[in-house]
């Protein structure tokens, strides 16, 4: 396990962290991305403990946990200050490690129990207006509809229609296999975080775009590769990557004259946010949207209700004669 420059962490600390990460992977089923983030957070924690001369988790006190989190927020010569959201994630990793050590009998107490991580600011997800989404989808793949570029054009349109038509995460879209699709029934099986799966309806526009891609586009690109079950493939016939999908969206956003840089930039997650917000604006129940998005808790989904309340206020302010 790589750590920051400085004293090497004691073997007992390294074993405890490895055991905890194995537990998260095998028993909790955390995604590879989440595990990688936790691993980085705990490597920094081990570096802090090693620098303080701590060789065993049983010797850690609440003050050391608090000082570590404060150091993350303040930054140092080797690291910039972490945002509140990143510090909260690091605190979750540290607290989880100490709870795991207590359950496994490695320690007699949990020094992190009363340490409260900073509360990250609540950021409302950015959703595009419906007209902007339509313009984005119509420009995807619109530049080349014949010749050698036609298969890529069909793929680009199908991908963006799929993202907005299902609310899929970008990792779920590029990870979807042809066998997960039931085009005639208008459904797709999405494989989400923690190994959870969900069956999601696919809208008519997305079905039409997928059918064109699967029949007229995908076979032409597959001929250049070794064969893959992935729905979306690249120009070499291999599975499309997350970075490749982001590039497709960026090109479409540029053609649609939507922002591609800065805080308002359109990203693959923007389509997921738009999907949820437009469903709620249309009267969908928040519990239904929770299932469609694959959220483990309805609390995560409820952030979208704040967006729709803002929309209601806007409509009220412009429509009611005595709103001002």
Active site residues: 169, 193, 269, 272, 295, 304
Q: How far is CA 24 from the centre of its chain?
A: 18
Alpha carbon separation from 50 to 44, 90, 137, 173 (Å, rounded)? 10, 17, 52, 42
**What is d(CA 236, CA 225) in angstroms, rounded to the nearest whole number?**
6
| CB contact at 8 A, 56 and 64 | no
Strand partners, 187: 182, 201
Strands 187-191 and 181-182: antiparallel
């Amino acid at each position: 396990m790589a750590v920051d420059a400085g004293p090497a962490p004691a073997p007992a600390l390294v074993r405890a962290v490895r055991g905890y990460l194995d537990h998260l992977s095998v028993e909790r089923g955390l995604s590879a991305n989440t595990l990688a983030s936790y691993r980085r957070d705990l490597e920094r924690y081990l570096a802090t403990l090693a620098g303080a001369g701590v060789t065993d988790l049983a010797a850690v006190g609440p003050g050391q946990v608090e000082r570590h989190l404060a150091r993350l927020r303040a930054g140092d010569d080797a690291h910039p200050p972490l945002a509140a959201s990143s510090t909260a994630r690091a605190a979750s990793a540290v607290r989880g490690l100490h709870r795991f050590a207590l359950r496994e009998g490695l320690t007699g107490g949990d020094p992190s129990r009363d340490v409260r991580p900073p509360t990250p600011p609540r950021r409302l997800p950015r959703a595009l207006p419906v007209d902007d989404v339509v313009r984005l989808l119509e420009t995807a793949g619109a530049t080349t509809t014949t010749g050698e570029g036609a298969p890529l054009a069909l793929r680009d349109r199908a991908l963006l229609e799929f993202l907005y038509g299902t609310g899929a995460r970008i990792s779920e879209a590029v990870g979807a296999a042809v066998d997960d699709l039931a085009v005639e029934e208008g459904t797709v099986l999405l494989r989400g975080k923690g190994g959870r799966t969900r069956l999601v309806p696919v809208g008519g526009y997305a079905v039409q775009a997928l059918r064109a891609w699967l029949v007229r586009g995908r076979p032409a690109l597959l001929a250049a590769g070794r064969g893959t079950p992935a729905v979306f493939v690249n120009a070499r016939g291999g599975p499309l990557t997350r970075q490749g999908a982001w590039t497709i969206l960026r090109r479409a956003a540029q053609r649609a004259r939507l922002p591609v840089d800065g805080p308002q930039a359109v990203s693959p997650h923007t389509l997921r946010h738009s999907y949820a917000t437009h469903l709620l604006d249309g009267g969908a129940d928040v519990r239904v949207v929770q299932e469609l998005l694959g959220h483990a808790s309805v609390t995560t989904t409820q952030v979208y209700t704040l967006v729709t309340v803002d929309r209601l206020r806007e409509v009220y302010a412009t429509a009611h004669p005595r709103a001002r």
